[in-house]
Structure 1
Amino acid sequence: MTVRNPVSNLQTLIRCPSVTPEEGGALDALEAMLSPMGFHVQRMVAKDENTPDVENLYARFGSDGPHLMFAGHTDVVPTGDDALWSHPPFSADIDNGRVFGRGAVDMKGGIACFIAALARHIEENGPPPGSVSLLITGDEEGPSINGTDKLLKWADERGERWDAALVGEPTNPDVLGEMIKVGRRGSLSGRITIRGTQGHVAYPDRADNPLRALPAMLQSLMGKAYDNGNDRFPPSNLEVTSVDTGNSATNVIPDHVSAVFNIRFNDSWTTETLQNEIVSRLQRAAQDLSLRSGKQAATFDIEWLGRPSPVFLTRNDALAGSLSEAIEAVTGKMPSLSTTGGTSDARFIKDYCPVVEFGLVGQTMHKIDEHVPVSDLETLTVIYQNFIGRWFARAVGR
């Protein structure tokens, strides 16, 4: 099969300018690879208010038995200034043993390797004793509204069921084989707005400066640890990312100040219990009058921003064990099982089946001159092929 070569697969995908939310020909290219292999390929367009329509792809090989899903995305982030690239960002040029192009690492490379791995497995061992599906979205780098979440629901409504899933995101910090992601911290964002009374700085008695309440409020959010972490997760951590009064004058006391924050949290919390904790901290801090002599408790509002991402942890020895063994067999390294990093589409998949993440080294993702060594593409393909054999052997009890 021509798709045995992960490098040529990746070059084909990189040459599709699929900057989110544009399909850019990437799903057409995937369909052209998968259909001759025997996959039943379906495309669906997801829609929602105030968001761009996004085309997604679902392909299945086999019709029964244990069902393994590979999930990923073909959309990529913008290239930035093309003139700064040493090779055009959609050229897929090979230079000094490296493939250059937007999406090489994040994450067209992972998709290219999995397709090559499955093609090799089928050619060398015959079809796996079950089913393999590819769930590919075009909305991972965008708002993630019309992507994996809706594609999973669409497939579920059509009777699709999965026993395990592998997401091909770049998980390795420095060297291929060092890290599997077996979970993700939750993410919660919010904006607090402290209300005051506008006035002239020369007459502070006639105003109420909300900035005088801000230090205590921020201290309440960032000063005391939320937890100590545990054997799978680091401590939860909140960072304030923006403070703004909307005030350009130097002689006017503003009537409000807003601060935006994000907290990455572990499984000591749910979204609801964490929201309650944050509100409780702010309410206590609002009583602090150390910088507000003669004033009443500060008045504030809180707005939760975006869609919170829940924390999750996969405990599935058949899945993580098969992948760890495959990595060790190919690289000689026993990977760490990590929950670090940001969110991913695994947060949607975990509601349907156990899920882990493993892909390329992520050092150049989203950067100018994003690239991947040809040797890493071959190594990842061999790992994926080894994993496919091991997982199905466990799934059917061999």
Structure 2
Amino acid sequence: MDKNNLALQAAQAVDTAELVRLTQELVRIASYYPGPGEQPVVDFLEPYLRRRGFQTTVQEVAPGRPNLIADLGQGSGGLILEGHSDVVTHGNPEQWTVPPYEARILDGKIYGRGACDMKGGLAAAICAAVAVQKVLGQPRKTLRLCIPCDEEGLMIGIKAFIRAGYAEGFAGAIICEPEENQVCLWQKGAMRVWVHFQGKMAHGAMPYAGANPIPSAARFVAALGGLQAALQSESQHEYLGLPWLTPTVFEAGAGTGQFNVIPDRVRVGLDIRTNPGQDHRALEARLRQVLEESLGAGVSATLEVFEVRPASETSRDTVLVQAVEQGLQLLQMPVRYGGVPGATDGTFLWAWAGLPVVTIGPGNRTVPHQVDEHIEIEELIAAARLYAAVAVLMLQNGLPAA
């Protein structure tokens, strides 16, 4: 039997009722951090996968924060299906129409924190891998489920996965993030920056006796608009749009109730999103120039870039992209290209491990992190069938027909 027919068999072998049930079970596990964390997800999924013929490994990344790795088959040139186990906090539960961890089904959608980002995509990957096992048994190339912790933070899970060598020997990775089942070959880069302003404390009635860092910080934040406009004039990507330079934190004050005290320090946080081709080191130098020009008398500042994530771009000529396109065509799904507005674990699989990555998964990309997060069941099923088909195409690539 040729691999196209095997791919279609795997797609049809996806247990859709189990897919819905598994998504609900995962949504019911609160795995935000700080809080319960990811351990309960791994405790649930590790025996689940072992019972279904997977070889499992639990990688301890930090206390209570494990990665789960589950393999079918052995051999190089296989495929990684990746979906993180953590979610963001639910916030104020009173703002939710449906309780955030009930996983209720309404109008063909599963509601709950993480349903879209990305317990749904994770369940789709798992059910797809189970379907592949039904069709291929233990394949001659490895199909690896990578289920890391901390995607919503500093991505310590995927970094540990790569450092331990778990990404070696694969032909590519599918990142099962909610991207409306679009073929996303491009991901924005990111820089995370702290700027610390240091002044001198004084009485609010006698500001001349101190050095107030707040005006300097305010001038710096205001000047960022001009730098952002310059960056946007230099780069606009067909699928990623414009780069953004966004202040997200402004912390100042001498303490609770200290209304008449000039503080001696201010902290500003920046979330910067870049396009392929934009040089992060050059951007850092431009930030430092804006900072220097913003400082008033008696005020100093330091700028700390504590996280850098490069923008990624996967060629359409790779075997992985061709398999994704072929899988979509086999399932009579539209081949629609898109770009990831944020970074994903795929950023580091691409940059550190050198893997081609395609981000494609179920869910509206604007829904994550909002109240009443949800995922459409129809889209969830389509993604699982696609993952199963693509996995077979990748695992059978270059092998004689069965």
TM-score using structure 1 length: 0.80
Partner of 1:241: 248
For the 8 Å contact 1:210–1:256, the answer to whether it is kept is: yes
1:329-368 aligned within 5 A: 329-330=330-331, 332-338=333-339, 340-350=340-350, 351-352=352-353, 353-362=355-364, 363-368=366-371
Q: Residue 239 of structure 1 aligns to a residue in which SS?
A: strand
- Residues 73 and 138 in structure 1, CA contact (< 8 A), matched pair in contact too: yes
Match of 1:152 in 2: 162
TM-fit CA distance, 1:202: 6.6
CA distance in 2, matches of 1:9, 1:241: 35
SS at match of 1:342: coil
Change (3 A) 1:184 1:300: farther
- Residue 17 of structure 1 deviates from its aligned partner by 3.5
Partner of 2:312: 312
- 8 Å Cα contact 1:190/1:262 also seen in 2: yes
Larger Rg: 1
Partner of 2:10: none
Q: Which residue of 1 aligns with 2:171?
A: 163
Q: Secondary structure at the match of 2:247?
A: strand
| Alignment-derived partner of residue 45 in structure 2 | 30
Structure 2 unaligned blocks of 5 or more:
1-12
Equivalence for 2:122? 111
1:31-110 equivalent positions in 2, closer than 5 A: 31-47=46-62, 52-82=63-93, 85-110=96-121
Amino acid of the structure 2 residue aligned with 1:27? V
Provide the rounded CA distance (Å) in 2 between the counterparts of 1:343 and 1:143. Answer: 11
Matches within 5 A, 1:196-215: 196=199, 208-214=211-217
When residues 337 and 392 of structure 1 are mapped into structure 2, their CA distance, relative to the original with a 3 A threshold, is farther
Whichever residue aligns with residue 184 of structure 1, its letter is Q
Q: Residues 13, 202 of structure 1: CA spacing in aligned structure 2 closer, same or farther, 3 A cutoff?
A: closer
Match of 1:382 in 2: 385
The Cα shift of 1:135 comes to 1.0
2:323 aligned partner: 322
Contact 1:192 1:300 in 2 (8 A): no
Aligned mates of 1:212, 1:26 — CA distance in 2:
46
Deviation string for 1:291-316 (max 9, x for gaps)? x7xxx6x7432231532223222225
Q: 1: distance between equivalents of 2:373 and 2:19?
A: 17
3-state SS, counterpart of residue 162 of structure 2: helix
Pairwise CA distance, 1:133: 0.4
Partner residue in 2 for 1:7 = 20
Q: Which has the higher helix share?
A: 2
Question: Which runs of 5 or more structure 1 residues have no equivalent in the other structure?
Answer: none
- SS of the residue corresponding to residue 170 of structure 2 reads coil
**CA offsets 1:219-245 (integer angstroms, 9 cap, x no match):** 543213123234565443212233344
**Secondary structure of 1:170's aligned partner:** coil
Letter in 2 for 1:370: E
Q: Deviations over 1:232-282 (max 9, x none)?
A: 654432122333441576766555544332221223334333222211333
The 8 Å contact of residues 66 and 129 in structure 1, kept in 2 or not, is answered as: no
- Match status 1:260 vs 2:269: yes
Shift of 1:331: 5.3
**SS of corresponding position for 1:107:** helix
User: Would the aligned equivalents of 2:30 and 2:101 in 1 still touch at CA under 8 Å?
Assistant: yes
Tell me the TM-score normalized by structure 2.
Answer: 0.79
- Whether the 8 Å contact between 1:185 and 1:343 is mirrored in structure 2 is yes
Q: Distance in 1 between matches of 2:338 and 2:398?
A: 21
1:105 match: secondary structure: helix
Structure-1 residue corresponding to 2:142: 131
**RMSD value over aligned CA atoms?**
3.3
**Aligned pairs (5 A) from 1:270-281:** 270-281=279-290
For residue 261 of structure 1, what is the amino acid of its counterpart? Answer: L
Question: What's the counterpart of residue 183 of structure 1?
Answer: 186
CA contact (8 A) 1:328 1:335 kept: no
Structure 2 counterpart of 1:43, one-letter code: V
Structure 2 Cα separation of the partners of residues 324 and 358 of structure 1: 11
The structural deviation recorded for 1:12 is 3.1
The reply to whether residue 229 of structure 1 matches residue 240 of structure 2 is no
Q: Whole-Å Cα distance in 2 between the matches of residues 2 and 330 of structure 1?
A: 13
Alpha-carbon shift at residue 165 of structure 1 (Å): 0.5
Conserved 8 A contact 2:253-2:262 = no
SS of equivalent residue, structure 1 residue 77? coil
- Following superposition, the deviation at residue 127 of structure 1 comes to 5.3
Letter aligned with residue 236 of structure 1: P
Q: 1:316, 1:97 → 2: CA distance?
A: 34
Aligned residues: 376
- Is 162-171 or 319-328 further displaced after alignment? 319-328
1:337-386 CA-partner distances (Å, limit 9, x unpaired) = 31x42222112211221112111113443333332222222211222223
Matched residue type, 2:74: S
Change in Cα spacing, 1:282 to 1:67, as seen in structure 2 (3 Å) is same
Distance in 2 between residues matched to 1:230 and 1:101, nearest whole Å:
33
Q: Comparing 163-172 with 304-313, which one deviates more in the overlay?
A: 304-313
